[in-house]
Amino acid sequence: MDALSEEDFVIPTPKYEYLDHTADVQLHAWGETMQEAFEQCAMAMFGYMTDLEWVEMTQVHHIEAEGHDMESLLFHFLDELLFMFSAEPFLVAKKVKITKFDVENFKITAIAIGEEFMIRKHTQNAEVKAITYSAMQIVDRPEMHRPEVFVIVDI
């Protein structure tokens, strides 16, 4: 396991918002790079489920995801993180950091830093039941200078 640095525990400025969608919610995230946009989308998902202000960074969980294109890579990345939250140890991440972002082979290695979700400590907002491909968009136009992603999650 790679040693974590102090920088790994610095929380970046949120670069995401929630857009209304019939019976679901659309996560819209962006960043300076596509990697950051993916990380911010993950944080948007966790932020929709609970108030991240109350989450401490005491546990590190490693995840890997792969796909056959960028959309399936984003889908599987978020799905792995949702599984991490939904199965023991029910980890809610305060920060997600992609350590390897291979856009040629569509593979991601990442760490999620947070703690076990505890109802007596954390707010229980909407439950994200599933990630969907519905209306998924990955926008990376150089003239925009801001890669962004749109993902609808089933709540």
Q: pLDDT tens across 125-149, in order?
A: 988 999 999 999 999 977 778 999 9
Beta bridge partners of 108: 65, 101
The model's confidence at residue 24, banded by pLDDT at 50, 70 and 90, is: confident
Whether this prediction's pTM lies above 0.85 is answered by yes
Tell me the CATH architecture of domain 17-154: 3-Layer(bab) Sandwich (3.55)
What is the β-pairing status of strands 24-30 and 91-102? unpaired
Summarize pLDDT for 31-66 with one digit per residue, the tens.
Answer: 999 999 999 999 999 999 999 999 999 999 999 999
Quote the CA–CA distance of 92 and 129 in Å, as a whole number. Answer: 15
Please report which confidence band the pLDDT of residue 92 belongs to, taking 50, 70 and 90 as the band edges: very high
Given a contact cutoff of 8 angstroms between Cβ atoms, the answer to whether 47 and 16 are in contact is yes
Among 149, 127, 147, smallest CA distance to 136 is for: 149
With pLDDT > 90 as the criterion, what percentage of the chain qualifies? 81
Beta bridge partners of 145: none
Tell me the average pLDDT across 86-109. Answer: 95
**pLDDT for res 19:** 84
Q: Six-digit token pair at 112?
A: 């999620």
Query: Do residues 90 and 117 lie in contact, with contact meaning Cβ atoms separated by under 8 Å?
Result: yes
Domain chopping of the chain, boundaries: 17-154
Contact present, 134 and 150 (Cβ < 8 Å): no
